[in-house]
Amino acid sequence: MRAQRRHPVVRLDRLVAPLLAMTIAALAASARADPQPVCGGLTVPLHLDQSGSPIAHLALAGKEGDFLIDTGSTMSIVDADAFGILPHQRVTLKGFSLPTVAEGSFQVWDWLAHDRSIIGTDILRTRTVEIHYGPSEPYLALSEGSCAAAALEGAGFARIDQKGFYGAESRRKPNLPVVFVRIGRVTALFYLDTGRGDFTDGGLLAISEPYHDLLAKDGVAMDHVRTSHVSDCRGEDSEAEVVRTPGGRMAILSRVGGAEVASYDAPPLMVLPEGAVCGNRNAPTQPFGLIGASFLRKWGTVIIDPFAQALWIKAG
């Protein structure tokens, strides 16, 4: 009697499962692909806090912790308790894991929001800074030289002039990056304040009372939305009115009186009361505004080049 030949049984599930796992792994690896900064340089991952501000987990002086990347602060600050240093002094600390920056000079405070230390423009203005809020993981890139304007223009970026406002050698106070915003026919200087997390507020702009008054004088309709609360850099609260401009538009200009580089529906406006803004910004008397972290998501990538005194965003 002839023995029956046994044919091997192919289990499709045993073939498909490994292929599926490989596909998922490849997609995950793609999502975690190495960052490709526009201007080169070295990178560090960012995570976003609940309000959308960029946070880097870094080592400094043998300690590890979260640092707020804050283009709206002229000084870098460490938490006294976290670093075991007496407050109310300036110290130089080494062993910094911030790319290209081995050490820094820091103010020591005994109160900081969320107990996070801050990297301000006293450090950031010594580097070309890229902040990426794209569809993949957010990251920060730092390089020690200027970025080629032709390459940026070829990649679809538009220049916003920083001359006289922000630069590696600028002596202006405050030395902060700016964006020129026009609402209606009224243009004002807005400080780019990445430490101002505004995702939870729907991406509003903060404006000074003098700028609000200029908008009203120009005939810009503003409807009351709500009364909100704002905290200054010492944690003191005050009330601020939030208004909306029905059908209003905001334009970002290359400079005062310059070309329009981007235009959006005007977001809600928070009118900052006198004394609600930290730092030397002449808040009580000058028409100005603050443009916060929600616009980092809108732009995807922002490049701040203090050597060329230029800020670059995607035109649109």
Half-sphere exposure at residue 149, Cβ-oriented, CA atoms within 13 angstroms:
10
CA distance 19 to 21: 5
For 173, residues 6+ apart whose C-beta sits below 8 A from its C-beta are 74, 280
Walk along the chain (316 residues) and give the pLDDT tens digit of each residue: 444 444 444 444 444 444 444 444 444 444 445 778 999 999 999 999 888 899 999 999 999 999 999 999 999 999 999 999 999 999 999 999 999 999 999 999 998 877 899 999 999 999 999 999 977 799 999 999 999 999 999 999 999 999 999 998 877 778 999 999 999 999 999 999 999 877 655 578 999 999 999 999 999 999 999 998 776 656 677 888 999 999 899 999 999 999 999 999 999 999 998 766 665 444 557 899 999 998 998 899 999 999 999 999 987 6
Name the CATH code of domain 42-124 (choices 3.20.20.70, 2.30.30.60, 2.60.40.10, 2.40.70.10): 2.40.70.10
Q: 42-124 and 149-314: same fold?
A: yes
What CATH topology corresponds to 149-314? Cathepsin D, subunit A; domain 1 (2.40.70)
Helices (H), the chain: 12-31, 80-83, 121-124, 149-154, 209-217, 294-299
Domain boundaries, the chain: 42-124, 149-314
Amino acid identity at 45: P
Buried b (16+ CB within 10 A) or exposed e, 139-174: bbbbbeeebeeeebeeeebbbbbbeebbbeebeeeb
